[in-house]
Structure 1
Amino acid sequence: MPKAPNARQQMLIEQLRDGIIARLVMVGIEGGDAASRAELSRQLAARLRQDPAFVGVQNGEASVETRDRSYFFDNRYLLSPAMSAERFSSEGLQAAIGASVEKLSGDAGLMLKKLLPHDPTGETLALLEQFAGGQQPRQLEGAWASRDGTRALLLVQTRADGSDTDAQAASLERVRETFASLPAHQAGHRLLLSGTAVFSVTSRERIQSDIHRLAIGSSILVIGLLLAIYRSPRLLGLGLLPVASGLVAGIAAVSLVFGNIHGLTLAFGSTLIGESVDYSIYYFIQRAAGIEASRFWRTMWLGVLCSLAGFAVLLVSGFPGLAQLGVFSMAGLVGAALVARHVLPALMPQQLQISDLSAPARLLDRIFRSLRRLRPLLLAGALAATAWILWQGDTIWNRQLNALSPVTRAEQDLDMALRNDMGAPDMRYIAALTAPDAERALQAAEAVGQVLRAEVAAGRLGGFTSPAQFLPSRQTQQARQQALPDEASLRSRLGDALRELPVRAERLEGFVADVQKARQQPLLSRADLAGSSAALGVDSLLIQRQQDWLVLLPLRAPAGQEELDTRALEAALQGAGQSGVTVLDILEESTSLFASYLSEAKLLVACGMGVIFLLLLAALRSLPRALRAVAPLACAVIGVTAGLLASGTSLTILHLIGLLLVVAIGRNYTLFFDAGSHAGNAEQQRQVQVSILVANLTAVGSFGVLAFSSVPVLAYLGCTVGPGAFLALVSAAILARDQDASAH
């Protein structure tokens, strides 16, 4: 997230951390018959309601439905948004009772006939109309069930923050363990879980599993190759020492500067400084060939400086993730280079006994020399690919955050199925505000609700949900209570109101008694909601934080429309004096934030590559040599980009980081090809080329296996760096300066 988020971005952060989006878990129970599934649903709900890890559990069982009906009916005069002093005047009573009589012939006539003696003004119906537009799950055997009746359903809200993945994982495991321990549980029953928390936990586990599996595979490849070359476990251990030192230096630097380190910074930073394994490869092979150490280190330090220049531009990023990546990579590369320069020479044996590479070196030299015939073809292909990429313009980039999602299609289908069965909203649109305490938070929610009801009436909004619908502020409850007339006044006004209506006054004695009871009842508090689904509604929409209270009002688009005009709605709220409300389209905001992250990353990477070229120009003191040094990198970047696009893959920020890795790794190839052309003799030239090939094989092997990952974050990196590193080697060989014939 950005260092200084605007109001909308801050609200998005709060939704990810505190919002109901991250805390609701949809539960399905399959197998057995409907009766056994319903019994399991009731047992599971009862156990979870007693578990402090969960704030609320709903499953539609009769006892909860009864408490819901009792709560709303018994407290209708404190809850009804239609309540006012005018409503209980003679004229108001006549209009309200007359409207109820007219509705007796409608679809709700049977229910209204039962309610009329106690609720002739229709307060219960006014309460229900607040939730119009929402769907309810099917009832089967006394519990919620899917539309086709094949699974029982529950809705669970966890207490843990959405950003606390460890706590969410523990909560989900408790659900599974509780289900497995139920008396009614049998082998044929199966538990299904879905929701944002489930996606977060599953994604983390999948990423960790893939990283461990692929890391083992790549380590075996690299270690096997290096052992075959070094023929010494000691040299192998020494060769990995710069990598380990770089990791420690990077972690320490980021911890000192930022106080913490992001997981992705550690993952990507580790791969970026993974190029430091090349330091020992170049050093050992070229030292064994008798190449002067001073010449090697001049080339090596130039490569390190180029990397530092490229990563330094990330330090000015407004996103801590990119800034951390810059600090980690710079500190890691410096640490690895210093260890390779000053520690390896002191620890390595006096006589290096590595494999005889003279025969492979001669074969490789012939291959590289023959590749130079392809120089015109390479340059023409690079120009054509560049033109094709530029012709496509900005469409090559995928700015959708879900492009990086490790959630499988099956998991998405299950989530959609449970959501449709449960009638759960997609929570894409939310109006949010803050207040210093709960009472003022509810008052603000009521004020916003008045504007939103007007938008619903105008057809610009499909509906909304507010915590004040379940628990009005004390101020509003007092006003509604004071609007209720005493018994004498009510009987008098009721007599006037019924003169022209087909309802006798004696039929409404229950109504008179209920009004008098409501005038004396205590005001409602959160404790009065215990055991009802209204408690979950309040707790999920009215959230206490350290400094204030967060109010959430989920919004629904108008019927027949997939999208809501959030800007027009926010303008309407501001026009009504509700300027402190943020209307958030979570999909649009997250996409916009990701797009800005990508745009900044593209700019910084471009600046970094420009700085690298200027540094090479200054160090090599020759424009042709500088162009020859960067040309293979450009060909590799263009080639792998064109290949990805040709395969139907749009580029993401992970591909961009992968291209940065291609430049960081391939830069050493070009520099050592240039240095090899100045080596003392042909054999030394060939050994330099062998060291380049070995370094390339380790890079392709370690990164290439990532392409087989099921996680897009890892697969994108592997599909970019593996082929890119190979293209950088081939391009460097093709474009390398022809060596003097006398040297051979």
Structure 2
Amino acid sequence: MTAGPTRARRIAVLLLWLAVVLAGAGIISRTQFSGDLSAFLPASPDARQRVLIEQVQSGVASRTLMLGVEGGRDAAQRAEVSRALGKAMRASGLYEQVQNGDTSELQEAGTFVFDHRYQLSPEVNPARFTVDGLRDAIYDTLSLLGTPAGNIVKPLLERDPTGETQRIAEGLIPASSPRSEEGVWASRSAPRAMLLATTRASGSDIDAQGAAVARVQTEFDRITQGMGADAPRLLLSGTPVFSVQSRDKIKGEAVHLAVVGALVMGCLLLLAFASPRALVIALLPVLTGVVAGTAAVALVFGSVHGLTMGFGSTLIGETVDYAIYYLIQARGAAVAGTGWQRWRDQNWPTVRLGLLTSVCGFAALLFSGFPGLAQLGVFSIAGLVAAALATRHGLPMLAPDGATGIGMRRHMARLAGGIVMAMPRLRWAFAALAIGAVGVLAWQGGELWRASLSDMSPISKASQTLDAQLRSDIGASDGGTLVVVQAADAQSVLRAAEAAGHRLDALVENGQLSGYDTVTRMLPSVATQQARIASLPDVATLRARLGQAINGMPLQPARFEPFIAAVDAARTQAPFTREALIDGPLGPVVNALFYERPGGGWSALISLHTTERFDTGQLAAALAPLPEVQVVDIGRELGSLYTRYLHDAFVQVMLGALAVVVLLGIYLRSLRRLVAVCQPLLLAVVLTLGGMAVLNVPLGILHLVGLLLIVAVGSNYALFFDQLQQTGRADEDTLASLMLANLTTVVSFGLIAISDIPALSSIGRIVAPGALLALLLSAAFTRSGVMRAPAKN
């Protein structure tokens, strides 16, 4: 005679369970996964942080690729490959601009600059066209005829004797551009041709960035095909490369950890149950939890960060515990088919309370001001709840009396019983260690929490070194300090950028800056263009002044009639705006430095080229009178962000801990029992932190998440020991389930601890020892004499 669930109920529950999992899988299949760390930037930033986040997500730095064509037969071959690769990249349409020093495709840009030279040249002012001004300008131009620049200047002498085109070109040359070899950019320190490209796609669109990065490699392979052993090799770096590498590495590591973790735990469960069927059943709540957690994040946030997906591996360590508790504790019922009812009545309340304490702990993350941290909270809560409900309602339909196989469980129970009886003798040793840990933590103080936001990045040191080398070769700004101009409309931004430029010129003169790049060199404000045009004299005045200016020079006035005609024509030129440049050859450069902000208004980015004498404080002081201009010290802002991030996380963890204590107090209704349950959890956290301090491990945000997991996992152990204390005697199956659950948790997080992803390994290194300590301490602080030899079922 059996008393298991009815067939109709079994079918209904299993079909509902399957439908929920399939629905979650359907949501996941349409979900976008991201890998950039901007998810771990604040959702409600201040003004400077908002500038930083905009640049991280869609600024020019987030879209810049640096390429090196290294080795090969000789410089000529590298130059040939560089030109062919640049041409192919421009033709692809994936890149806003591609620069490699090849000027063969810049004729159109040169024509525009020449035609609008009197609007673009910063030297155009009333003094420029006085007799003295004209004489000095023409002398400067003539002095260039005997230099390498003479070949460029000579054809323009009759039409541009004052050298406005030359002056504009000088301003557009990067302050620290690479040297030229065989007509293309080349490294100063290695046999390497250099290219610089900016992708069209936003920096936050990782899929599009991946396509752009892959296209570079595809075109390079095509160009170098057939070159044999002499073929050069491609070096590629930049934020798009890092974003793609991060996403792929996180996804690959998450799959790797899930597979390896499932295999290792599968072996452990097979040893424990000696039943493949029990193994499959035990893993079903885990699968349900991961699917539910991922789908919940996708629904709430619209996308899933790679670290959140990797965090799914950590859920295996706890969600499998629910199945272990059920499969072991539901066995041995007096009447076949009623084991699930006995477990529901005797053990489910304890598991449910452990679940609720975990939910309370992770609920604190939901209120984080950082989307990435909130994602972890949503993922954890949804995953744990789904796994627990699958255990409570689904597993009784599949195994009404738990797992029938014995396997190694009896030996595990005996070992657990011996540990349980021995642990109380060590409680004072644990207490002494805890006091020592508190002393170490007090001595180190805030120095223990010294990890940074960048420590979460999975980018290897080799990739970072290559990036620094290519950045140095190409003379790119290190981006350590940003000057950002913001205003409600485009013209206000341009006027403010011009004012900032005048102040930056002083820093260039005193040697703090080697130069800077600003959009106003290509797109002056309408007011500036009008002022320059207004300074141009009429034909008669210019002809008279020019005649006096060249008096004594070996030049005939008639030779400059084209110049007089050009100035006269320029006097009627209308100012040009961004729209006139956007589709032309200068459009990509303008777009990189001048853009409409996502939230409204306009911004201009001034890129600085600093020297050893550079001082951020003096830069900020120089620009302080300009309210539209902000100086963003990226290092300082990231430090400020992380300080706020860490503070908020501490507050959230403490609130979560308080919620756990309140929940336990309401349920236990006994101060003595509340202290008995919370004591091992607190000591496990203190001892784990003390161990990290002794090992000099820098702790950060995700270590705090690990502490929450210790409480989440350990609360189950502490509550079961509380339950056993109430009954006064430990039964064999309960001890076996606790030991097996702890073993799978420690092994799962131990695997995560050796992950190549710093963010995941941080969690694993905290939770693996912490979960073991939570079990041992729960046994150690059990009342003496209560835990006798385990009773057999």
TM-score for both structures, normalised by structure 1: 0.89
Instruction: Tell whether the 8 Å contact from 1:76 to 1:123 is kept in structure 2 after alignment.
Output: yes
Tell me which residue corresponds to 1:282: 325
Alignment of 1:549-588 (within 5 A): 550-556=602-608, 559-565=611-617, 569=619, 573=623, 575=625, 578-588=626-636
Q: Which runs of 5+ in 1 are unaligned?
A: none
Equivalent in 572, 590, 593 of residue 538 of structure 1: 590
Write out per-residue CA displacement over residues 508-541 of structure 1, whole angstroms, 9 at most, x where no aligned residue.
Answer: 7265455345446676566986999744421311
Other-structure match for 1:10: 50
In 2, Cα distance between equivalents of 1:549 and 1:159 = 21
Distance in 2 separating the partners of 1:546 and 1:644 = 43
Match of 1:646 in 2: 694
Contact preservation (8 Å) 2:224, 2:232: no
CA contact (8 A) 2:729 2:786 kept: no
* Residue 295 (1) aligns with residue 346 (2): yes
Question: What letter matches 2:670 in structure 1?
Answer: S
Equivalent position SS for 2:769:
helix
Alpha carbons of structure 1 residues 320 and 535: separation in structure 2 relative to 1, 3 Å: closer
Task: Report which stretch shifted further, 261-270 or 386-395.
Answer: 261-270
Residue 80 (structure 1) aligns with: 121
Q: C-alpha offsets along residues 660-700 of structure 1, whole Å, 9 cap, x if unaligned? A: 11111112112222223344655x1x432221110011111
Contact 1:36 1:184 in 2 (8 A): no
Distance change >3 Å, CA 446–CA 256, structure 1 → 2: same
Amino acid at match of 1:628: A
Q: Deviations over 1:223-246 (max 9, x none)?
A: 111122223333223323333333
Q: Is the CA contact (8 Å cut-off) linking 2:273 and 2:404 kept in structure 1?
A: yes
One-letter amino acid of the structure 1 residue matched with residue 279 of structure 2: L
Shift of 1:197: 0.5
Correspondence 1:258-407 to 2 at 5 A: 258=301, 261-268=304-311, 271-272=314-315, 274-288=317-331, 292-293=342-343, 294-350=345-401, 352-355=403-406, 357-407=409-459
Deviation at 1:417, TM superposition (A): 1.0
Q: In the alignment, which of 46, 69, 75 is matched to residue 87 of structure 2?
A: 46
Q: Which string of whole-angstrom CA distances, capped at 9 and with x for unpartnered residues, describes residues 630-678 of structure 1?
A: 2222232222222223333200111111111111111211222222334
Question: Counterpart amino acid of 1:449?
Answer: G
Query: What is the distance in 2 between the residues matched to 1:147 and 1:351?
Result: 71
In the TM superposition, what is the alpha-carbon distance from 1:728 to its structure 2 partner? 2.0
How far apart in 2 are the matches of 1:743 and 1:191? Answer: 68
Q: Secondary structure at the match of 1:63?
A: coil
Q: Could you tell me which residue of structure 1 aligns to residue 130 of structure 2?
A: 89
1:22 maps to 2:62: yes
Which residue of the partner structure matches residue 481 of structure 2? 429
Contact residue 290 and residue 315 of structure 2 kept, 8 A: no
Q: Distance in 2 between matches of 1:524 and 1:343?
A: 70
Q: Does 1:737 align with 2:783?
A: yes
- Tell me whether 183-192 or 254-263 shows the greater mean CA deviation: 254-263
Residue-by-residue CA offset, 1:683-738 (whole Å, 9 max, x unaligned): x1x43222111001111121211122222112212222222222222222322333
Whichever residue aligns with residue 99 of structure 2, its letter is Q
Cα distance in 2 for partners of 1:38, 1:106 equals 26
Contact 1:240–1:277 (Cα < 8 Å) also in 2:
yes
Alpha-carbon deviation of 1:24?
1.0
Q: Deviations over 1:327-386 (max 9, x none)?
A: 443333333323322332233144741215334322332233233322212111111111
Paired with 2:180 and 2:788, the residues of 1 have a C-alpha distance of: 90
Q: Following the alignment from structure 2 to structure 1, what is the Cα–Cα distance between the partners of residues 754 and 365?
A: 29
Structure 1 507/61 Cα, relative in aligned 2: closer, same or farther at 3 Å?
Answer: farther
CA contact (8 A) 1:570 1:581 kept: no
For 2:411 and 2:619, the matched residues in 1 are separated by: 75
Report the AA paired with residue 772 of structure 2: F
Distance 1:620 1:144, change over 3 A: same
**Secondary structure, counterpart of 2:270 in structure 1:** helix
Counterpart-to-counterpart distance in 1, 2:269 and 2:609: 61
Quote how far apart the aligned CAs of 1:296 are.
1.2
Secondary structure of 1:430 counterpart: strand
Cross-structure match for 2:738: 692
Give the counterpart of 2:664 among 594, 600, 616. Answer: 616
Q: Distance in 1 between matches of 2:720 and 2:469?
A: 57
From the superposition, tell whether residues 308 and 535 of structure 1 become closer, same or farther in structure 2 (CA, over 3 Å): closer
Pairwise mapping of residues 129-140 of structure 1 onto structure 2 (< 5 A)? 130=171, 134-140=175-181
Match of 1:240 among 283, 303, 311: 283
**How far off is 1:185 after superposition?**
5.9
Counterpart code for 1:226:
L
Tell me what 1:723 maps to: 769
| Offset at residue 103 of structure 1 (A) | 9.5
Shift of the alpha carbon at 1:440?
5.7
Instruction: Report if aligned partners of 1:556, 1:564 keep a CA contact under 8 Å in 2.
Output: no
C-alpha distance in 2 between matches for 1:313 and 1:530: 47
Query: Residue by residue, what CA displacement relative to the aligned partner does 1:287-334 show, whole Å, maximum 9, x if unpaired?
Result: 225695222123222212212222233333333333343344333333
1:288 aligned counterpart, secondary structure: coil
Counterparts in 2 of 1:115-130, with a 5 A limit? Answer: 119=160, 121-124=162-165, 126-127=167-168, 130=171
- What is the CA deviation profile of residues 540-559 of structure 1, one whole-angstrom value per residue up to 9, with x for unaligned ones? 11235677564332342653
Q: Which amino acid aligns with 1:428?
A: G
- What is the rounded CA distance, in whole Å, between the counterparts of 1:391 and 1:507 in structure 2? 86
Percent of residue pairs identical: 44
Alpha-carbon distance, 1:8 to partner: 2.0
Give, in whole Å, the separation in 1 of the partners of 2:362 and 2:152. 70
Paired residues, number: 737
| Alpha-carbon shift at residue 200 of structure 1 (Å) | 0.6
Q: Cα distance 1:196–1:170, how it changes in 2: closer, same or farther (>3 A)?
A: same
| CA displacement, residues 420-446 of structure 1 (integer Å, 9 cap, x when unaligned) | 111111122223345666566544533
Cα distance between partner residues in 1 of 2:415 and 2:509 = 81
C-alpha spacing 1:164/1:178, structure 2 compared with 1 (3 Å) = same
Query: SS in structure 1 opposite 2:330?
Result: helix
Q: Which stretch of the first structure deviates more once superposed, 447-456 or 640-649?
A: 447-456
Residue pair 1:80, 1:126 contacting (<8 A) in 2 also = yes
1:602 partner amino acid: F
Taking structure 1 as reference, are residues 619 and 273 closer, same or farther at Cα in structure 2, changes over 3 Å only?
farther
Q: Secondary structure at the match of 1:181?
A: helix
Q: CA deviation at 1:90?
A: 3.3
Unaligned runs of 5+ in 2: 1-40, 334-338
Aligned counterparts of 2:614 and 2:742: Cα–Cα separation in 1: 50
Q: Do 1:41 and 1:59's aligned partners in 2 also have CA atoms closer than 8 Å?
A: yes
Conserved 8 A contact 1:133-1:462 = no
Partner of 1:57: 98
The letter of the residue matching 1:232 is S
Counterpart residue number, 1:413? 465
Shift of 1:572: 5.1
